[in-house]
A = this chain, B = another copy of it.
Amino acid sequence: MVKPSHEGLNVLGAFNPGATKYKNEILLLLRIAETCNKKQNFVSVPYFNFIENNAKFEVLDIPENSKELELKDTRGILYKGVDYLTSVSHLRLARSNDGFNFAVDEKPFILPHNQTASFGVEDARISKIGDIYYINYTIVSGDGYSTFLSSTKDFKNVKQHGIIFPPLNKDVVIFEEKVNNKYIALHRPSNHGFGLPSIWYAESEDLIHWGNHICLLRPNKSVWESQKIGAGAPPIKTNKGWLEIYHSKGKNNIYSLNLMLLDLKNPSKIIALSKTPVMIPETEYEKNGFFGNVIFTNGHIVKENGDINLYYGSSDENVCVAEISIDKLLKSLK
């Protein structure tokens, strides 16, 4: 369904969509991962080069037998001591009237904008605040991954606000309204060499500058959560609290989805947590693919009947949807 953004690129997957309602449509902002044609005896790495902020798509061809080449997993390589990704991602809109049948735009919506995103832009979250749609996403380059903020009012013109969480930081979600007159975000700094990647809380007065960082939730020791956790989409406001669906990776190497309920008036306080995942990879397309055993959500739509359409990526390859009752999620926390 998805056309390549550039000659010489192949679409590897469309996954991990941000989601929102805009006018009469449901919009998904897909992560489109693309790779280049494999040349025999070479590992080919696509990336963007920027000369005076003009993007130029380039390919680095590395001899397969190079002693300076180290393959990590299917997603990354190390060459001459420098990290590269095996694919480069951009963000593209898909549009639907019913939330289930989508038409994917022919052109990208957000492309890497400068050298800080030379390896791609990934995993958008959309927060509607007032009449502005704030879009945060992971930017990746040789400096690491960090979180960039843009905004739009019309899904045509995009305003860039800069890096809001410096490296290494991803899985950022911004609450869709202020609490105690502060904007609130959850974020996920890397603490490599110390503890396990955990979910942090932060506050802002303008969405651009962030502070009052607090470590909110560390992975528990269960088989589902023992490697890392990270926030999903902006939380759902319920009368019981802010309901956040977050992902975890356990020692079984499976990504699953879990629940966290935060105090309505003080979202730095956790009220309840799910004891076991609410969703795990079960189907063929969730268990197998480019990077199997991954379900990852960063977008949902709340419907009038109190259900949500939970959009999620499976195996870093496809977009899936699950219909879930918010009430049932909340009751499961009792």
Contacts and interface: CB of A to CB of B under 8 A. Distances in A.
A151 interface: no
A168 B187 contact: no
A58 interface: no
Contacts of A214: 162-163
Of the candidates A144, A198, A213, the one having the most CB atoms from chain B within 10 angstroms of its own CB is A213
In the complex, the count of this chain's copies comes to 2
B144 A168 contact: no
Contact of A200 (B141, B166, B192, B210): B166
B195 A168 contact: no
B192 A166 contact: no
A213 B168 contact: no
Contacts of A306: none
A198 B204 CA distance: 25
Contacts of A205: 205-206, 209
Contacts of A145: 194
Given A83-B193, A167-B189, A209 B203 contact: yes
A166 B209 contact: no
A187 B213 CA distance: 16
A202 interface: yes
A208 interface: yes
Contacts of A215: 116, 143
Contact of A209 (B163, B194, B210): B210
24 contacts: A82-B195, A83-B195, A141-B194, A142-B194, A143-B194, A145-B194, A146-B213, A162-B212, A165-B166, A165-B213, A166-B187, A166-B200, A166-B202, A166-B213, A167-B189, A167-B194, A168-B189, A168-B191, A168-B192, A190-B192, A203-B209, A204-B209, A204-B211, A205-B206
